[in-house]
Structure 1
Amino acid sequence: MSRIVLSALLLTGLLSGTAAALVPASPAPAVAQAPAEAPAPETPKDSAKELPRLTLYTSFDPQRLAPVFAEFQKAQGIAVQIESDQADLMLGRLLREGATTAADVALLPTLTRAERAATAGLLVPVTIPDLDKAIPAAYRDAGGRWIAVTGFVRAAVSMGDKVKPGDIARYDDLAKPALKGRLCLPPLGRLASRAFLATQMIPDPLAAEAWLRGVTANAVTLPPSEGPSLPDAEDRPLVQALVDGKCDAALIGSRTLARLADKGDDPLRPALDKLTVTFPVIGDGRGTPVEVVTIGATQATGRREAAVKLITFLTGDTGQRLLAEALWGYPLKPGTPLSNPVTRWGPFKADPTPLSTLLPLLPQAAALAERVGGM
């Protein structure tokens, strides 16, 4: 994917308060008894003062993010330039550039990527005003290097009544023999899968491995274009597999479902009316694991105060609502209104396990995925 650079500069922000400076001054009229005053020098149009600007690295669509940062610019007078690429390429660029990176802030999908950036020393701890009233501590780095700002969940989706209501109430149910040869799964090798597997490993990693082997034994083998090569959060081919009758049930990310519901011209959109969507909980009933998108200020930024303002905005009421809508996600600040696409299938109970509890388990989850494979 070629790099996309989008500057979210607003014309009104550039011109506000500078109109007088853009009009050349007229020379004073000549006076017979005195030398004429020299005309005032013209002010070139390109000398208008630009807004302060932050550079943000991300893997998300700049066009989707532009309205979010336009609202931030209107509120704070700070523009955001978005540099976007595939998630792993963007993380690799951030790691490669290190202390010389142009990024002031990084908006990263998955807990694993946030932790990689943090442990590499690329993210700087910041203090966000009233953060305790905004994002629950379970969704924040204890050291203040990153904060989760939106989330997605994995839904159990079936076509019509092919799976009875209640048959997949818990993720444990995915391993039941009744689903043998009837289940479609996203790739286990995704980084997003690691936090999900780490959640399953609490409190018993051995039981989690037995469960995962049972789940993959039930899975239908899909062609590479529909299975292992899928990028993070791209589960559209799994919806297509349900429509085509290749499987009766699938584990599909909420972001894919919300995106399809929001795009009226997608040929798969009518199929949503035939889908049954439920949000399973972890075996002990804790809730549904939440996959997060995090934001953090880089150690290299020379605009830390502006970066803090952006992070503060994205953790507040307006920023939470706009960012969730832009990414087809769920806001993490309690009480934030939900957008229509994600409300279609009702509420879910979020797993309250702190992300910090999952961090030590991520390497074990990666090893588990490699041993079992197939998801």
Structure 2
Amino acid sequence: MTSIRTIALGAVSVLALSAGSALADGEVNIYSYRQPELIQPLMDAFTKETGIKTNVLFLDKGLVERITAEGANSPADVILTVDIARLTEAKDGGVTQPLNDDDINNQIPAQYRDTDGNWFGLTTRGRVLYASKDRVSEDAITYEELADPKWKGRICMRDGQHSYNIGLFASMVAHHGAEYTEKWLAGLKQNLVKKPDGNDRAQAKAIHAGECDLGLANTYYLGLMKTNEKEPEEKDWAASVKVLFPNAADRGTHVNISGMALAKNAPNKDNAVKLMEFLASDEAQTIYAEQVFEYPVGPNAKVSEIVAGFGPLKADTLPLVDIAANRKTASELVDKVGLNDGATQ
């Protein structure tokens, strides 16, 4: 069985996630890829409102494998995760079940939920450009422009095969086709100042250090850096960049999601549905968005003050299922053009 790290929240012990106790009244079991401290305020609010206890199992990886191995006796009720890839992985792995719930469907736009009801988006994050405040005068940009030679030696990014980048590249395939995207990736490659490396925060660090002028990154990392009291140097990195929302003047910026799904064999299904309805509410999405510096998908949920300071996000309306369908092609194109090798002389 896949090795995992577990964290039990509140007064709940890890043993509460055994199949036997999962059947107790007034509980719901959550398997989460999301860090426990980020979802704890949501769990506290749900328990306060309903009296239902939440048992959270945090997994670094192997969620689908874990639930598959547990089989029909799995205690998992609700799956929480980030990234469309992991949501579709859960569906394709056969560990979710469809849910047709009017309260949830009315809250979550169709582009952010599975057509069969196997997963639902809760918050979005834009795949944006961090730009040097000192060296980039532009306040508008498109993804297509990243292949323009004017940016040669000025762009940095993390591994081209990382799921965040593959999502963006898959959206380019969906919009423009594979042939165009291959040429675009080749142009982007030639504009890289170095081989892709690090994480999204590292791109802000590189801009602060003067190594590059533009960095592909998710919006929420900027909020995390701005509020990082444990590593205050990250505040300096964040202060050196501004956010450019690509394609804001036309189709909109590519977004990815955090989301939820109803586990296939949920032993506490009624409570699971109550939790999912709560998570889809404007109240919960406002709490969630404040915690993770993301954009809620609910019609009346509010963004945090820090996120509002990034500027308005006009999201690409392309359904995420269409993007997910092109991820394999995008991954193959990354290898085909040798994106991770960096620019050639």
Smaller-chain TM-score bracket? 0.7 to 0.9
Q: 1:96 to 1:285 in 2, by over 3 A?
A: farther
Distance in 2 separating the partners of 1:237 and 1:129? 42
Of residues 317, 320, 323, the one that matches 1:352 is 317
Residue 278 of structure 1 deviates from its aligned partner by 1.0
Q: 1:373 to 1:346 in 2, by over 3 A?
A: same
Q: 1:96 to 1:209 in 2, by over 3 A?
A: farther
| 1:154 aligned counterpart, secondary structure | strand
Residue 161 of structure 1 deviates from its aligned partner by 3.0
Distance in 2 separating the partners of 1:2 and 1:131? 31
Residue of structure 2 equivalent to 1:270: 236
Of residues 57, 62, 65, the one that matches 1:83 is 57
Residue 259 of structure 1 deviates from its aligned partner by 0.7
Residue of structure 2 equivalent to 1:140: 113
Q: 1:373 to 1:135 in 2, by over 3 A?
A: farther
Question: Can you list the C-alpha shifts for 1:283-312, whole angstroms capped at 9, x where unaligned?
Answer: x92100111112001111111111111110
Residue of structure 2 equivalent to 1:248: 213
Residue of structure 2 equivalent to 1:304: 269
Matched to 1:58, the amino acid is S
For CA contacts below 8 A with separation 6 or more, give which structure has more relative contact order.
2
Of residues 252, 256, 259, the one that matches 1:294 is 259
Question: Can you list the C-alpha shifts for 1:158-177, whole angstroms capped at 9, x where unaligned?
Answer: 222312214x5101111111
C-alpha contact 1:200 1:208 (8 A) present in aligned 2: yes
Aligned residues: 325
Residue of structure 2 equivalent to 1:331: 296
C-alpha contact 1:262 1:341 (8 A) present in aligned 2: no
Of residues 181, 184, 190, the one that matches 2:153 is 181
Distance in 1 separating the partners of 2:273 and 2:212? 47
| 1:293 aligned counterpart, secondary structure | strand
Whether 1:316 and 2:281 are equivalent positions in the alignment is yes
Distance in 2 separating the partners of 1:91 and 1:324? 26
Residue 96 of structure 1 deviates from its aligned partner by 4.0
Distance in 2 separating the partners of 1:172 and 1:316? 36
Residue 369 of structure 1 deviates from its aligned partner by 2.5
Distance in 1 separating the partners of 2:108 and 2:97? 18
Range 273-282 or range 299-308, more displaced: 273-282
Of residues 4, 10, 31, the one that matches 1:57 is 31
State TM-score, norm by structure 1: 0.81
Distance in 2 separating the partners of 1:270 and 1:366? 33
Matched to 2:171, the amino acid is T
Residue 121 of structure 1 deviates from its aligned partner by 1.5
Question: Can you list the C-alpha shifts for 1:115-136, whole angstroms capped at 9, x where unaligned?
Answer: 1111222101112232343110
Whether 1:163 and 2:136 are equivalent positions in the alignment is yes
Range 139-148 or range 59-68, more displaced: 59-68
Residue of structure 2 equivalent to 1:281: 247
Distance in 2 separating the partners of 1:261 and 1:129? 38
Range 142-151 or range 213-222, more displaced: 213-222
Q: 1:295 to 1:336 in 2, by over 3 A?
A: same
Residue 98 of structure 1 deviates from its aligned partner by 4.3
Matched to 2:319, the amino acid is P
Structure 2: unaligned runs, 5 residues or longer: 13-23, 341-345
C-alpha contact 1:51 1:77 (8 A) present in aligned 2: no
Structure 1: unaligned runs, 5 residues or longer: 11-49
C-alpha contact 2:104 2:276 (8 A) present in aligned 1: no
C-alpha contact 2:128 2:246 (8 A) present in aligned 1: yes
Residue 195 of structure 1 deviates from its aligned partner by 2.3
Residue 277 of structure 1 deviates from its aligned partner by 1.6
Residue of structure 2 equivalent to 1:47: none
Q: CA RMSD in A?
A: 2.2
Distance in 2 separating the partners of 1:359 and 1:347? 25
Matched to 1:55, the amino acid is N
Distance in 1 separating the partners of 2:308 and 2:315? 15
C-alpha contact 2:122 2:285 (8 A) present in aligned 1: yes
State TM-score, norm by structure 2: 0.87
Question: Can you list the C-alpha shifts for 1:315-352, whole angstroms capped at 9, x where unaligned?
Answer: 10111111122222110112311112211211121001
- Identity across aligned pairs (percent)? 27
| 1:114 aligned counterpart, secondary structure | helix
